[in-house]
Amino acid sequence: MNKEQTFGYRLLTHSMLVGAAFFWGTNPMIMKIGMRELHPVPFNALRLSVGLLAAGILLLLTRSWRPVQRTDLPRFLLVGVAGFFLFQLCYSFGVNYTSASVAAIILGTLPINVALITRLFRIEHLSRRKVLGIAATFLGVILIALGKHGGIGLAGSYVFGVVLLVISEVGYGTYTVFVKPLTLRYSIYQIIFIIMSVSVLLFTAVSLPVFSPSAFIGLKPITWFSAVFSGIFPLAIGNILWSTGVKRIGSTNASVYGNLPPVFGVLAGIIILREVLSPMQLLGALIILGGVALVNKQGTKKPASLRKPEGVSK
- Residue 84 placed within a domain: yes
What is the model's pLDDT at position 220? 94
Whether residue 214 is contained in a domain is answered as yes
Residue 301 lies in a domain: no
Q: Which domain holds residue 252?
A: 12-296
Highest mean pLDDT among 107-121, 230-244, 248-262, 296-310: 230-244
42 lies in some domain: yes
Answer yes or no: is 309 within a domain: no
SS (H, E, C) the chain: CCHHHCHHHHHHHHHHHHHHHHHHHHHHHHHHHHCCCCCHHHHHHHHHHHHHHHHHHHHHHHCCCCCCCHHHHHHHHHHHHHHHHHHHHHHHHHHHHCCHHHHHHHHCCHHHHHHHHHHHCCCCCCCHHHHHHHHHHHHHHHHHHHCHHHCCCCCHHHHHHHHHHHHHHHHHHHHHHHCHHHHCCCCHHHHHHHHHHHHHHHHHHHHCCCCCHHHHCCCCHHHHHHHHHHHHHHHHHHHHHHHHHHHHHCHHHHHHHHHHHHHHHHHHHHHHCCCCCCHHHHHHHHHHHHHHHHHHCCCCCCCHHHCCCCCCCC
Per-residue pLDDT at 250: 79
For residue 7, is it within any domain? Answer: no
Asked if residue 271 is part of any domain, the answer here is yes
Q: What is the band of 100 on the pLDDT scale with cuts at 50, 70, 90?
A: confident
pTM for the predicted model, two decimal places = 0.75
Is 311 a residue whose pLDDT tops 50? no
pLDDT > 90? residue 189: yes
Domain count within the chain? 1
Q: With cut-offs at 50, 70 and 90, classify the pLDDT of residue 216.
A: confident
Q: Decide if 183 is inside a domain.
A: yes
